[in-house]
Amino acid sequence: MKEMTKFTPSFDIENSHNGIVAGIDEAGRGPWAGPVVAAAVILDPANLPNGLNDSKTIAEKKRDIIAAEIRAKAIVGVGIASVDEIDEINILQATFLAMARAEKELSTQPDICIVDGSAKPKLRAPFEMVVKGDAKSFSIAAASIIAKTVRDQMMRDLAKIHPEYAWEKNKGYGAPAHRAALDAHGVTPHHRKSYAPIHNILYPDP
């Protein structure tokens, strides 16, 4: 079996560029419910938050603590694309829309953005795509933490309205409790109707 390469985030990618660099990442492309959220973060290299890493590797409570420190020490922009936008233009385009909105929300315009992944959004600033960027770049890691914590809180808030789907735990992914609730209670306005599991509930084969 081929061993997976492990990366440690650093400021190397940022240092390879001149000017102000913003890291951009998203959270929530895979879930069956809820919005997709993107974040853009401009870090101060002389005052980096502690614990920056790919958000998926950090426990939820610790993520919230690190997110607060990022907001205190960095310039942060957040962009959201709604469930209706996801259904209308598809999840990839909605992700790009959220990224563009996050960049626009920055109080300082970056000279270049470094963006997690390989699919190219439409941004105002020039950008570089970085595959597994949240594991390689401090700025993208910070953006991944902000995007994840914002979206997680949105799903916890929605769970108070629809507790039967256990979104406070599964965050809208197709976990067993979520599937069972769909069978018992049906589809809510917060479900992505363009996603096959939800579409098939609404429009079953005759």
Provide the number of structural domains found in the chain. 1
DSSP secondary structure letters along 19-80: S-EEEEEEE-SS-SBS-EEEEEEE--TTSPPTT---GGGS-HHHHHHHHHHHHHHSEEEEEE
Residue 25 annotated in ligand binding: yes
* Residue 2 counted as domain residue: no
**Domain containing residue 128:** 12-202
| pLDDT, position 6 | 67
| pLDDT, position 2 | 43
* Residue 5 counted as domain residue: no
Residue 116 annotated in ligand binding: yes
Residue 26 annotated in ligand binding: yes
Question: Exposed (0-12), middle (13-18) or buried (19+): which is 17, by Cβ within 10 Å?
Answer: middle
| pLDDT, position 5 | 57
Exposed e or buried b for every residue in 127-150, given b needs 16+ CB within 10 A? beebeebbbbbbbbbbbbbbbbbb
Q: What is the mean pLDDT of each run of 10 residues along the chain (206 residues)?
A: 65 96 98 98 95 91 96 98 98 98 98 97 97 96 98 98 98 97 97 97 87
* Residue 40 counted as domain residue: yes
Count other Cβ atoms within 10 Å, centred on residue 47.
9
